[in-house]
Amino acid sequence: MNRHLLSAADLSRDDALLVLDTAEELARLADRPIKKLPTLRGRTVVNLFFEDSTRTRTSFEVAAKRLSADVINFSAKGSSVSKGESLKDTALTLEAMGADAVVVRHGASGAPHRLANWIHGSVVNAGDGTHEHPTQALLDAFTMRQRLGRLEGLQVAVVGDVLHSRVARSNVLLLHTLGADVTLVAPPTLLPVGVEAWPCAVSFDLDGVLPKSDVVMMLRVQRERMHGGFFPTTREYSRRYGLDARRMAALPEDAIVMHPGPMNRGVEIAAEVADSVRSTIVEQVANGVSVRMAVLYLLLGGQLADTAEAAA
């Protein structure tokens, strides 16, 4: 494993499988009376969140605490920091406080990469702009493997607002590494420039893709990032690209429905679909903790050995 986890593309097939296998063992901790391991005792993990995210921040916090690391939540919200140099100053402050790992979410794509050049500890990308969210892709892959028993050869449809989604890009990269076939389904206005270079297929026809999909991953329509008209009306979007009970019936029998959350019920996903037995939305949250524990363990568990080696 690299020292940082910035992009799903950083992970080789072996790395990714190591994370998933480690997470599988760590998931069993949830059934034990003492849900804590001493492995990262004395290490400090800083959650540096420049964007709101209760789900991801809490997930990382629980993961780090279950490994006995000390957790500092650093929320940039409310402080008057602007981007650019201020990120560097923040990084240097954290460095001075002795952070072993910085989990960073930032509105600007590429901010974690910058941060990784400034500090000595590990940087984990917890979502940067519309770029990447690698731990989400890992937990999605984990959930698929758990439900369907395999990843190799799975047909995965990723549907909706691909343009503003960091989840989509990370999933395409990781699932490609792991041997699954991804099809992006979205209106042309919600596909990023250069999508033809991604290792996946693209379709505009949801009804055509559904019958041959093992997994359907619905993406949230990110209105807060939309400045301009990407589709005529919410209702029209929902009719063409939303997953309702009728469309769900077209899926193969054991197919699953995923959503990274938070959901817009009635827009990209109907309530009866979100609450159906095919939906893995709650499992995804639980699996997020196990996968993030695995990532923190693999990045920090042997850190001194790696630094010693680098220095030698």
Partner 1 sequence: MTPARAHTGSATPGNRGSGSRPVVGDPAAARPVLDAADVGRALTRIAHEIVERNHGADEVVLLGIPTRGVTLARRIASRVESIEGKPIQAGSVDATMYRDDLRMRGIRPLEETEIPPEGIDGRVVVLVDDVLFSGRTVRAALDALSDLGRPRAVQLAVLVDRGHRELPIRADYVGKNIPTSLLETVHVLLDEIDGRDGVLLGPAELGPRHGSTAGSEPEETAR
- Residues forming contacts to partner 1 in the complex (CB under 8 A) are 1, 18, 21-22, 25-26, 28, 32-34, 36-39, 297-298, 301-306, 308-309
Could you tell me which of 165, 92, 8 has the C-alpha nearest to residue 102?
A: 92
| Rounded-to-integer distance, Cα 301 and Cα 37, Å | 12
Q: How far is the CB of 286 from partner 1 (least distance, A)?
A: 18
Query: Is 83 a catalytic site residue?
Result: yes
Query: Is 133 a catalytic site residue?
Result: yes
Q: How far is the CB of 174 from partner 1 (least distance, A)?
A: 19
The one catalytic residue among 22, 44, 56, 183: 56
Q: Which is nearer to partner 1, 200 or 295 (CB)?
A: 295
Q: How far is the CB of 293 from partner 1 (least distance, A)?
A: 10
The one catalytic residue among 105, 164, 259, 292: 105
**Burial, 188: exposed, middle or buried (Cβ in 10 Å; 0-12, 13-18, 19+)?**
exposed
Q: Which is nearer to partner 1, 34 or 277 (CB)?
A: 34
Which residues contact residue 183 at a Cβ distance below 8 angstroms, ignoring those fewer than 6 apart? 155, 156, 157, 158, 200, 201, 202, 203, 209, 213
The one catalytic residue among 39, 55, 176, 265: 55
Query: Is 131 a catalytic site residue?
Result: no
Q: Which is nearer to partner 1, 60 or 297 (CB)?
A: 297
Q: Which is nearer to partner 1, 197 or 308 (CB)?
A: 308
Q: Active-site positions?
A: 55-56, 83, 105, 133
